[in-house]
Amino acid sequence: MKKISSVLAIAFILLAAGSVKAQGKIGHIRADDLVALMPERAKIDTVLSKFQNDSLNTTLNSLVQEYTYKDSLLNKTDTSKMPRSVKDQYRSDLQTLAYQVQNWQSIAQQIMQNKQGQLYQPIYKKVSDAINAVAKEKGYAYVFTSDALIVAPPADDILPLVAAKLGIKLPTAPKTTK
């Protein structure tokens, strides 16, 4: 009985391997490596840097200025003539502003990630379209991201094919001496 189940298991493995081979080639690529080489990336990085400096840092400075102003009104001004409701409103505003200033780093990081995703989306679409075109042209039935593979043969890395499709010149690897 054990012999029959072993023979059946081996036959199943051979059939499965044969059916994968018949379905087409399997390739892999690191799309992020390709995106890093694209000429549009430099422009996007400049836009992101300008956005961070002009928008996010300006907003933080504005929040700090507003906090300082309201704090000085509440603590340095004679508040005895100020109605209680106004004082309470200033205190509430100060608490809100203090929270915003303290959490600005995480808020700004989320805003930057959203902006980055928005700006990089067309590039990733372009890369995805090129990967699909190369896979179809070269007969690849499956293309995986290289990040998910532990072992992959270098011959099936389609990065050079997709780079050529997009007209991107790959940097040459430095020669090692023995």
Q: What φ, ψ does residue 76 adopt, rounded to 5°? A: -110, -15
Q: Is pLDDT of 44 > 90?
A: yes
End-to-end CA distance of the chain: 56
pLDDT (0 to 100) of residue 106: 85
What is the percent of the chain where pLDDT is above 90?
34
pLDDT (0 to 100) of residue 162: 92
Tell me which residue of 137, 140, 178, 160 sits closest to 37, measured CA to CA.
Answer: 160
Cα separations in angstroms, 117 against 5, 6, 34, 95, 114: 52, 51, 16, 32, 5
pLDDT level of residue 40 (50, 70, 90 thresholds): very high
List all residues 6 or more positions away from 37 whose beta carbon is below 8 Å from its beta carbon.
163, 168, 170, 171
pLDDT level of residue 2 (50, 70, 90 thresholds): very low
pLDDT (0 to 100) of residue 57: 85
Could you tell me which residue, 156 or 23, shows the higher pLDDT? 156
Could you tell me which residue, 19 or 93, shows the higher pLDDT? 93
- CA distance linking residue 10 with residue 154, whole number of Å: 28
Full-model pTM:
0.63
- CA distance linking residue 6 with residue 24, whole number of Å: 28
Tell me which residue of 171, 173, 174, 175 sits closest to 34, measured CA to CA.
Answer: 171
Q: Structural domains in the chain?
A: 2-166 (3.30.910.20)
- Predicted confidence (pLDDT) per residue in 110-154, tens digit: 999 999 999 999 999 999 999 999 999 999 999 999 888 888 777
Q: Looking at 40-44, 68-72, 122-126, which range is the least confident one?
A: 68-72
- In this prediction, residues 9-34 reach a mean pLDDT of 66
pLDDT level of residue 108 (50, 70, 90 thresholds): confident
Tell me which residue of 160, 30, 55, 64 sits closest to 108, measured CA to CA.
Answer: 55
Could you tell me which residue, 115 or 172, shows the higher pLDDT? 115
